[in-house]
Structure 1
Amino acid sequence: MKLLIVDDHAVVRSGLASLLDGKHGIAVVGEAGEGDEGIAKALELRPDVVLMDLSMPHGKDGLTATAELKKLAPEIAVLILTMHDDEEYLFRSIQAGASGYILKNAPHEELVSAIRSVAAGHAYLYPTATKRLMSEYLERLSGGGQPSDAYDTLSDREKEILSLTAKGYSNKEIAELLTISVKTVETHKSHVMEKLGLKTRPELVKYAAQKGLLQFE
């Protein structure tokens, strides 16, 4: 199985390559540090599986890259490898076309199993994720508990931070992208939560999805 690793951290990429290359029938054919580079290398190298990180602040994020790659090369399986143990990111990853979703703290054997599974054309979700995804889907169908719409009260900067937060960027990553301090990001985020009547990050992500802020081009 040919594997392409897409992650913005060089140490993570090299670690995964050392762990997987030449073992378990896996050949690591390339690495990329952001989404656009990942798409280009996938189209050039034609791997069986792309191991894709979600949050990559310096370039195209993993969700957008996954959606674009699946349009260009639907035969290439994408396995999301992320630190986000969150049903909303799981839901969005599958919606983007990913064949699997696994956490970065998963055991080595589970990662290998996930790669082999998606390479064979099957879906793979980390343990308990199927139940959580179904619960999220049923909640969406019911339409219950959604916050009132106060989107128009947000400033342009607040809308920008809302979108980046929903896509999985950390406060530090947002600060670097927007060239502002982490404290300023935290203040804007607090105002966003207050104006929208939100209390948790999953609620914020759901709201952003409703507003179309996570839609793929």
Structure 2
Amino acid sequence: MYNVLIADDHAIVRSGIAYLIDKQPTFQVVGQTANGTDTYMRVEQGDIDILIMDLSMPPGESGLITAQRIHEHYPLVRMIILSMHEEQEYINKAIHNGAMSYVLKSSPDSEILRALTQVSNGENYIDENITLTKKDLSQINSDGVDVNLTGYNSLSKREREVFPLVALGYTNKEIAAKLFISTKTVEAHKANIVRKLKLETRADLVRYAIHHHLIDI
């Protein structure tokens, strides 16, 4: 039995996917989340085999960044992106960042079921309505598919969790409660983030986050 986590900012979408999956004999939904931060923290608990995730879950971290972080730290979690974004840039970046499958929300339920079957067998699956060209494959396999995020990539695991919450305007107390850390620890992480990104104000941080597509507002 494969444990599945569903991440989408719309409750009705999560419920519909969960209903579909729970009817399958070898898959069970064990959790639902509505943003990137909560999704990562749920994966941290260690019992997720397959993640079905939207790319846009505002307000919060971009799903592309969440996918990248999960793939870096939990590479055994098999990710299926279920998105309304049909633009090739999103598809290429999602796969580059570790997704094994990309399915369009406009596609029939059968596409999700095919994706589940394929990734559970350790195989990639791309929606039948998506065509990957040689150029796309080259971009997916290239180190240059992402914008230059030298500063962001130097952030620690915890700093990357704090970053989108700061950008979205959460207070130190709110961030501490959400991440189960002290306010002093939050302050230390914020100072490190500003220093590493060479920023001066929260407004600078917000502009940086939006410019590099690190958050969805």
Residue type matched to 2:36 in 1? G
Q: Distance in 2 between matches of 1:48 and 1:54?
A: 19
1:138 offset after TM fit, Å?
A: 6.0
* Corresponding position of 1:34: 35
Residue type matched to 1:88 in 2? E
Residue type matched to 2:110 in 1? E
* Corresponding position of 1:50: 51
Runs of 4+ aligned residues of structure 1 deviating over 2 Å after TM superposition are 128-132, 134-140, 212-216
Kept in 2: contact 1:118–1:124 (CA 8 A)? yes
- SS for the counterpart of 2:30 is strand
* Corresponding position of 2:212: 213
Question: Percent of aligned positions with the same letter in both sequences?
Answer: 33
Q: Distance in 1 between matches of 2:73 and 2:22?
A: 26
Map 1:70-89; keep pairs closer than 5 Å.
70-89=71-90
- SS for the counterpart of 2:112 is helix
Map 1:126-205; keep pairs closer than 5 Å.
126-132=127-133, 134-137=134-137
- The TM-score with structure 2 as length reference comes to 0.61
- SS for the counterpart of 1:42 is helix
1:23 offset after TM fit, Å?
A: 1.8
- SS for the counterpart of 2:76 is coil
Map 1:58-69; keep pairs closer than 5 Å.
58-69=59-70
Describe the superposition over 1:176-198 as per-residue Cα deviations: whole angstroms up to 9, x where unpaired.
Answer: x79xxxxxxxxxxxxxxxxxxxx
Q: Distance in 1 between matches of 2:213 and 2:123?
A: 26
1:136 offset after TM fit, Å?
A: 3.5
- SS for the counterpart of 1:57 is coil
Q: 1:31 to 1:45 in 2, by over 3 A?
A: farther
- SS for the counterpart of 1:116 is helix
Q: Distance in 1 between matches of 2:90 and 2:62?
A: 12
Map 1:92-131; keep pairs closer than 5 Å.
92-131=93-132
Q: Distance in 2 between matches of 1:98 and 1:56?
A: 17
Q: Any gaps of 5 or more consecutive residues in structure 1?
A: 141-176, 179-211
Kept in 1: contact 2:61–2:214 (CA 8 A)? no
Q: Distance in 2 between matches of 1:109 and 1:128?
A: 12
1:44 offset after TM fit, Å?
A: 1.1
Kept in 2: contact 1:50–1:77 (CA 8 A)? yes
- The TM-score with structure 1 as length reference comes to 0.61
Kept in 1: contact 2:92–2:139 (CA 8 A)? no
The CA RMSD over aligned residues, in Å, is 2.7
Q: Distance in 2 between matches of 1:137 and 1:94?
A: 10
Q: Distance in 2 between matches of 1:137 and 1:115?
A: 22
Q: 1:113 to 1:213 in 2, by over 3 A?
A: same
Q: Any gaps of 5 or more consecutive residues in structure 2?
A: 141-167, 170-210
Kept in 2: contact 1:46–1:76 (CA 8 A)? no
